[in-house]
Structure 1
Amino acid sequence: MQLIFRYGFFKIQNIPLALADWQYLFLVLSTVLIAGGGYIINNIFDQNTDAINKPKTVVIGKSISETQAYNLYIGLTVTGVAIGFYLSNVIAKPGFASIFILIAATLYLYATSLKQMMLIGNIIVALLLSFSIIIIGIFDLYPATGIDNQQQMGLFFSILLDYAIFAFMINLLREIVKDIEDTDGDYNQGMNTLPIAIGKSRTGKIVFGLSFIPLFFILFYINKYLFELLFVTLYLLLFVVGPLIFFIIKMWTATTKKEFHFLSILLKWILLFGILSVVVISLNMKYNA
């Protein structure tokens, strides 16, 4: 996702950037390593739940031991934070290293306790995903911003923020849908997710209602900023708005684990195509098609 913004947007727009290509790859690597560590620590604490919800995908305790998983978690997280420390010094902002430490700590807290709190865990995961977009601006745009290009860079940072908001909304919906899908295993582990607290049906209706927020957000964005870009408008209507409307319709009637799993996957594709739209926008603007 971070590579899409760098090479599918910033490079095409030919704006000044703070990081060299290989340094930017380090930023991506740091993000991936810390996220990978978070995924592992989450799976360590989710072994019993996954044994019920996803028995075929359980790795820890089968393919690798819990001790090996802990060692891998530590290795990935420490390496990711160390790279973040290096990049913070590259842009002459050593204090920014705390961002990577905070993200790693949040992922650990999520795995050990926060995900058991109703909606809190969902919001944290969605925020962390959206922050993986914002961090691009912090490390690649902000250090390259000066008096002469402040307005231009502010515009690009605001675009990143818009995409971060979109990613947050879609991923929040997806996290709640996944909770509905995993209700049985979560209940057996004493977790307090929204579907456990108020029931699958009511939670589904809440997701149905919340789904209109990103839909209206996208339609408003198209109408205000992108309507004159024909290819962009068609792309968003076909690959983002259309699937999102389909999701809303199916969400109203979904009742089975299989249906909720399908809807979770659908949201993942909507998120991907939504992020890819920045490439379409950039090319459409460049060639004025």
Structure 2
Amino acid sequence: MLSRKNKLLLFKLLSLFSVVRGYNILVITLAQYLASIYILAPDVPLRKVVFDLNLFLIVTASALTIAGGYIINNFYDAEKDLINKPTKSMLDRLVSQRFKLTTYFILNFLAVFAASYISFRAVLFFSAYIFGIWYYSHKLKRIPFLGNLVSSTLAISPFFVVFVYYRNFESVIFVHALFLFLLILAREMIKDLESIPGDMAQNRNTIPITYGPRVSKFMITFLIGLTLIPALLLIRSFDVGHMYLYFMASIVFLVIFLVLLWKAESQKHYVWLHNILKFIIVAGVFSILLINMDLVLNRIL
């Protein structure tokens, strides 16, 4: 049996893991490695990619920066989350705001320190990335649509830095990135619908509050329509191996998503819609393996 002190420590660790959304960081880290192995550097031996010190430092710096970003975002959204996510918020509050800020600065310092072993340009990139996340959390997220746009751009930045590192400029990668960006942007706008009660209490000017949920739904529908374009291009015009099955399934899920979107009326409905988009994004990470099954089997065996 754990003592009361050990139980409290365990809950605090769980609280910190919840604040930095450790599960999201694990998925992003996996996505960076899978994209490097199967999309950006498919001709490079597996061992050379996996044990590439620079790639490891890029992924590490990305993870530390994102963790810090979740902390500062949690810091600014503490009161709103108490309304929108009371259970999670109570868990997050087991760690003091002072401790969160201290951890935030330590994580950012370690991210820049890791980047310094790569190059000066990497230091500049991650310093700008850290500043961008803070400025978004502090100011930009309160501006309708611009906040959503900036948030989505920041979300795909870890993949951009890996893409630049391998200098792979094939058009198929840009189409993949566009598909992901539009999905993330649609998810950000769904989160605004999901967060209406807390945003209203905090007098925040999101799209559904400023222009109404109907306008927000029209904009999300337009984004999903745009998302179908790169999905169809990846199925018909590019060689993505068996990953075409993922894009076909995504189109089906997105059509279902649109039907449910226009029927949605409560926060519970919007949470389900958010989870559908999140499922499509996470499934896309593991579907990278479908691009070249022979390569997967060869690298496993």
The interval holding the TM-score normalised by the smaller chain is: 0.7 to 0.9
Structure 1 letter corresponding to 2:156: S
Q: Any stretches of 5+ residues in structure 1 without a counterpart? A: 89-93, 143-152
Whether 1:243 and 2:243 are equivalent positions in the alignment is: no
SS in 1 for 2:265: coil
Deviation at 1:235, TM superposition (A): 3.4
The reply to whether residue 26 of structure 1 matches residue 37 of structure 2 is no
Where 2:93 maps in the other structure, the secondary structure is coil
Shift of residue 10, structure 1, vs aligned partner: 4.5
State the TM-score, normalized to the length of structure 1. 0.84
Q: Which amino acid aligns with 2:65?
A: I
Partner AA of 1:128 in structure 2: L
Residues 61 and 112 of structure 2 are in contact (CA less than 8 Å); yes or no, is this contact kept in structure 1? Answer: yes
Pair 1:70–1:15, CA change in 2 (3 A): same
C-alpha distance in structure 2 between counterparts of 1:8 and 1:59, whole Å: 41
1:52-76 Cα offsets, whole Å, 9 max, x none, are 1111111587211111010011011
How far does residue 137 in structure 1 lie from its aligned partner after superposition? 1.8
Does residue 6 of the first structure (1) align with residue 19 of the second (2)? no
For the residues of structure 2 that align with 1:235 and 1:47, how far apart are their CA atoms?
Answer: 37
Deviations 1:171-202, CA, capped at 9 Å, x for gaps: 00000000001011011112111011111122
Equivalent residue, structure 2, for 1:125:
151
Query: Bigger relative contact order, structure 1 or 2, given CA contacts below 8 A and separation 6+?
Result: 1
Cα distance in 1, alignment partners of residues 58 and 125 from structure 2: 12
Which residue number in structure 1 is paired with residue 83 of structure 2?
A: 52
Instruction: Quote how far apart the aligned CAs of 1:19 are.
Output: 8.9
Looking at structure 2, the residues matched to 54 and 96 of structure 1 have their Cα atoms a distance apart, in angstroms, of 36
Q: Does 1:262 align with 2:272?
A: yes
Match of 1:76 among 102, 107, 110: 107
Give the aligned partner of residue 222 of structure 2. Answer: 209
**Structure 2 residue identity aligned to 1:58:** S
Select 1:272's aligned residue among 282, 289, 297: 282
1:115 Cα offset (Å): 0.6
Give 1:43 deviation, angstroms.
Answer: 0.6
State the Cα deviation string for residues 227-249 of structure 1 (Å, max 9, x = none).
8x4x33333212x2221221122
DSSP-derived class of the 1:211 partner: helix
1:134 corresponding residue in structure 2 = 160
Unaligned stretches of 5+ residues in structure 2: 1-30
Please tell me whether residue 36 in structure 1 is matched to residue 67 in structure 2.
Answer: yes
Q: Secondary structure at the match of 1:225?
A: coil
TM-score, with length taken from structure 2: 0.81
Query: Mean alpha-carbon deviation: is it higher for 33-42 or for 129-138?
Result: 129-138
Q: How does 1:223-242 map to 2 (within 5 A)?
A: 223-226=236-239, 229=241, 231-238=242-249, 240-242=250-252
- 8 Å contact kept, 2:187–2:278: yes
Structure 2 counterpart of 1:80, which letter?
A
Shift of 1:262: 0.7
